Chains A and B, each alone.
Chain A
Amino acid sequence: MKTLTVSVVTPDGPVLEDAYQMVSCKAESGELGILPGHIPMVAPLTISAVRLKGEGSSERIAVSGGFLEVRPDKVTILAQSAEKPSDIDVDRARKAKERAEQRMAEKQADIDFRRAEHALKRAINRLDVKDNNF
C-alpha cells in the first residue's frame, strides 16, 4: 500500500519522521483526513490530536499552534509544540489545567481570559492524548 512520509517539526527540534498510510487531524475548518496522493495544501490546525495510521500501528501526537503542509507524498506538520504520548508530562498538564481553570473562574481581563482558555485547551488536549480518549 502507498504511504506518505510524515514529519513533525517544532522549534525545539524534529519530533517524528516516518512513513504512514493516513493522517487525520483537526484543522480550523474541520476534520481532515489525508491519504497519499493528496493535492498540495496548507491548513492551520487547532489545538488537537493528530492521528497517524501506519501498517498495523498508529501514533497520536498532541499539537498546538500548528499547521499542516501537504504534498502528494509528504506531510509536514509545523507546530509550536508537538508531543508523543510518551513525552507528555501528565503532572505538569494537570497542574496547568487546574491553574487555567482557576484563572478563568476569577474572570480577569480579556487577554488573560483568552490566554487561560488557550492554556486550558492545551492541557486538556495533552491529557486526552495521553489517555487515548477521543
Chain B
Amino acid sequence: MASLRDIKGRINSTKKTKQITKAMEMVSAAKLNRAEENARHFVPYSEKIQEVVASIAAGGGDASHPMLEARDVKRTGYLVITSDRGLAGAYNSSVLRKVYQQIRQHHSSAGEYALITMGRVGRDFFRKRNMPVDRDITAISDQPDFADIKDIASETVRLFTDGEIDQLFIYYNHYVSAMTQEVTEKKVLPLTDINVEGKASTSSYEYEPNQEEILEVLLPQYAESIIYGALLDGKASEHAARMTAMKSATDNADDLIGDLSLSYNRARQAAITQEITEIVGGAAALE
C-alpha cells in the first residue's frame, strides 16, 4: 500500500490539475459564446449573397462561368479546418481521420490532390505523413475577422480558377450544439449545387453592366464566404469541444480525488490501528 505521504501528494496534484481544467472550461465557455455570436453575425451576409447568386444562376439561362461548371477532375483540393492547439477532445482527430481516409481511398499519388490547412494541428499532421501541404495558415485568432483569412480564401479560390485544382472540398466540424459537433464534408467548387428555393422567380434583376461581369466578381466572393462560414462554424465547434473535454477532465479529477481520499483515510486508519495494537501489545508484555 502506498504511504500516506504519497497519497497526499497525489491528491494535491490532482486538485491543482482540476483547477486548471476548470479554468480552461470556463474560458472556452466564454469563447464559445463569442464564436456563436460571430457565426450569427455572418448569417445575413451569407444568406443574401446566396440569394443573389441563386437568382442569377436561375434567372438567366445563358449565364455561364467556369466556377459554375463541373470539369474532369485531375486534381482535388482539400481545405481542412483544425485548431492550433490540442486539448479539445476528438475535435482535430476526427476531421483529420476523415480527410486521411478520403485521400487514401481516392488518390494514389501526391500529385492528385492539394491540401490547404487552417490551424497548426492539421498542418503538422500532414507534414508528418509526408503529404504536401500547398497553403497553410496558423494562429487564426479565436474571433477571426474576414480580413484575417481573406488572403488564404482568395488564394484557394484562385487555385480553382487557374485550373490547378478541379474541385474543392472543405472539411470541418459543424457546430450542432455545445455537446455535439459533426465532421462535415462540403463541396465548395465548382458551384454546381446552388439551391434555388423559388426565391429567384420573384426577383429578376437588371444587371449592370452584364451577368458575366457580375458573376466574375460575385462567385469568388461567394466561394470565399462559404470558406469563412465554415471557419466560423469550426471555431464554434472547437470551443465547444474544448469545453466538453475540459468538463470531463474536471469530472474525472473529482472522481480521482474521491478515490484517493478514500484510500488515504483507509491508510490513516490502518496506521492508527497498528499503533494501538503495538502499544497494547507492548503494555501486555510488561505485565
Contact = CB atoms under 8 A, between A and B. Distances in A.
**Which 4 pairs of residues, A with B, have the shortest CB-CB distance?**
A13-B41, A11-B146, A43-B208, A44-B217
Interface in B209-243: 209, 213-214, 217-218, 221, 224-225, 228
Interface string B45-78: 1101100100010000000000000000000000
Contacts of B147: 81
B125 interface: no
Contact of B205 (A40, A44, A80): A40
Interface stretch (A52-60, A63-71, A99-107, A124-132): A63-71
Which range contains the number of A residues in contact with the other chain? 20 to 34
A76 B217 CA distance: 16
Which range contains the number of B residues in contact with the other chain? 20 to 34
B278 to A, nearest CB: 74
A14 interface: yes
B234 to A, nearest CB: 15
A42 B59 CA distance: 12
A81 B274 CA distance: 77
Interface string B190-216: 000000000000011111110001100
Interface in A9-25: 9-14
B45 A67 contact: no
B145 interface: yes
Interface of A: 7, 9-14, 27-29, 32, 39-44, 65, 67, 69, 71, 76, 78, 80-81
A9 B44 contact: yes
B98 interface: no
Main secondary structure of the interface of A (DSSP, over half): strand
B214 A43 contact: yes
Contact of A14 (B44, B46, B145): B44
A44 B145 CA distance: 22
B102 to A, nearest CB: 28
Contact of B204 (A12, A27, A40, A80): A40
A42 B213 contact: no
A77 to B, nearest CB: 10
Contact of B208 (A32, A80, A81): A32
Contact of A69 (B41, B48, B145): B48
A11 B214 contact: no
A32 B204 CA distance: 19
Nearest to A38: B206
A91 to B, nearest CB: 16
Contacts of A44: 213-214, 217-218
Nearest to B204: A40
Contacts of A28: 209, 213, 217
Given A28-B213, A80-B221, 4 more contacts: A42-B218, A44-B214, A76-B48, A80-B150
Given A40-B205, A69-B48, A78-B48, A13 B218 contact: no
